[in-house]
Amino acid sequence: MKEVLNQYKRFVDGVTSDDSKYTETWLCRIRQLQGDDCDVSRLLTAAIGMADEAGEFAGLVKKIMFHGKPYDAANIDHLKSELGDVLWYWMQGCIALGVDPVAVIEKNISKLESRYPGGKFSINRSEIRDVGDV
């Protein structure tokens, strides 16, 4: 087992970018992105924050679904609070990208209307997407 883990460790290291492995390389990438007008700090704040808060929301749902935590007013309020935190970080992402939050929502609606004509969910269309449907 130890050799398998060591082989996997070497494999993972080999398929990891230099930006992910070396601080100086990463710092050069940050400077390059800043030169491209990327708001690196706010973009990182948004990405890490959304992932963290979505994880907190999911963790509470998991405890309600599988651990016997009650689906009561207190936990619903806690879930609402976590959704608010996700929204806060989502707005950070909008600010980082310099985009109008309403335009983001409108783009999402347009994408979903295209994917699901007539506003009806389809398993087939959810799994087999048109080219460019991300």
Cα dihedral 39/89/24/32 (nearest 10): -20
Same domain flag for 91 and 107: no
Position 134 confidence tier, pLDDT thresholds 50, 70, 90: confident
Q: What is the pLDDT of residues 107-117, one digit of tens each?
A: 999 999 999 99
Same-domain pairing of 73 and 90: yes
Q: Give the domain extent around 115.
A: 98-128
* 51 and 88 inside one domain: yes
Return d(Cα 83, Cα 19) in angstroms, integer. 32
Q: Per the domain annotation, does 134 fall within a domain?
A: no
Q: Report the alpha-carbon distance of residue 101 to residue 92 in Å, rounded.
A: 10
Pair of tokens at residue 132: 């460019």
Q: Is 68 left (phi over 0), alpha (psi -120 to 50) or beta?
A: left
Q: Domains in the chain: how many in total?
A: 3
- pTM of the full structure: 0.87
